[in-house]
Amino acid sequence: MSGEQLNVGFQGLRVGALESRMAPEMERLIIRHGGVPMVAPSMRELPLSDNPQALECGDALMAGQVDLLVLLTGVGFRTLLDVVQTRHTREAIIAALRNTVLVVRGPKPALVLKELGLQPNILVPEPNTWKDTLVALDASYPDGLQGLRIAVQEYGISNPKFLEGLRVRGAKVRPVPVYRWTLPEDLAPLKHLLQEVMDGVIPVLLITNAIQVEHLVKVLEKDEKINLFRKALHRMMVASIGHLASERLRHYGFPVDLEPSHPKMGILVKEASQAAHTILTTKNPPPMRDKPSP
């Protein structure tokens, strides 16, 4: 690859992102790839330390009443462990998990299991979609899931299609929401970023999870600006980290111009920087000049 290709990037474009916990890293990545970061938090995490569903799941796990436990996120699994440890010892939890089929979506919950001295029984391959999870279960249970008691550790937004996919295969499904997301206490930075998008100041928007989409829609609908925002996005490049975020964007009629080759933040920023100018030129072609009269 030539030096010229290596240096292709945002070339000074303003790049909007809605990161919260990973905001400093996102800013560094945008700067590294030649952009001007415009980052505003869109989410605040609220662990459900008194969540009755998580506690009930823990009790069922201890009693041997969970056949399969589906772990969707590392943060969610850690929170589930913390909640259950308010009632049961860590050693008892590990023993119960060892007697349960552990279905793991992606590397982060697998890492938490490793810290406990455990390994996944079923590891869902990339891109770790809910459909991939069902395919992995079908491969392990070709005769179906009839009568199996499956607990699903959820991750902020429930996935009804996945839960229904388990039910139609005969499973008894227990959704376990273990943390929820809410809007930031201070909405001013987020509202400012959304206004900059509508004003045409920000030509690139990076979305790294589906909850960001839900939250920006909530703010825009309250201010009755969602149609203006949707119109602005059709002039911009919208880059989505993966299928879940893209599904939510399309659900609200928002465009998705790019998904990275792998659902990683660093790859998202890099590939967005490489494609930005081409995509923006395609979406905003220069006006045709009138031909001079002969």
The mean-pLDDT minimum among 44-53, 200-209, 233-242 falls in 44-53
The confidence score (pLDDT) of residue 276 equals 98
Q: What is the mean pLDDT of residues 262-273?
A: 97
Report the 10 Å Cβ neighbour count for 21.
12
- pLDDT-derived band of residue 182, with 50, 70 and 90 as boundaries? confident
66, 68, 72, 76 alpha-carbon torsion, rounded to 10°: 20
DSSP conformation class of 9? S
**3-43+185-282 classified as CATH 2.60.40.790:** no
CATH topology classification for 46-181: Rossmann fold (3.40.50)
Report the 10 Å Cβ neighbour count for 6.
8
The mean-pLDDT minimum among 8-12, 232-236, 260-264, 266-270 falls in 8-12
Report the 10 Å Cβ neighbour count for 274.
15
The Cα angle at residue 153 between residues 216 and 80, in degrees rounded to 5? 100
Q: Is the pLDDT of residue 292 over 80?
A: no
Residue 252 CA to chain centroid, in angstroms? 16
Alpha helices in the chain (DSSP H): 3-6, 23-32, 52-62, 74-84, 90-98, 107-115, 130-140, 160-168, 188-198, 210-222, 226-233, 243-251, 265-283
Q: What is the mean pLDDT of residues 211-232?
A: 97
What is the domain partition of the chain in residue ranges? Answer: 3-43+185-282, 46-181
Give residues with Cβ within 8 angstroms of 1, minimum separation 6.
none
Q: Is the pLDDT of residue 179 over 90?
A: no
If you write DSSP's letter for every residue of 38-84 in order, what string do you get?
Answer: EE----EEEE-TT-HHHHHHHHHHHTT--SEEEE--HHHHHHHHHHH
- The predicted-structure confidence for 120-139, as pLDDT tens digits, reads as follows 999 999 888 899 999 999 99
Give residues with Cβ within 8 angstroms of 112, minimum separation 6.
71, 74, 77, 78, 81
CB 33 within 8 A of CB 17: no
The confidence score (pLDDT) of residue 157 equals 73
DSSP conformation class of 151? E
Q: What is the mean pLDDT of residues 159-181?
A: 93
Residue 21 amino acid letter? R
- pLDDT-derived band of residue 5, with 50, 70 and 90 as boundaries? very low
Do 3-43+185-282 and 46-181 share a fold? yes
- pLDDT-derived band of residue 106, with 50, 70 and 90 as boundaries? confident
The Cα angle at residue 84 between residues 83 and 90, in degrees rounded to 5? 120
Looking up tokens 């299609």, which residue turns up?
A: 161
CA distance 255 to 232: 10
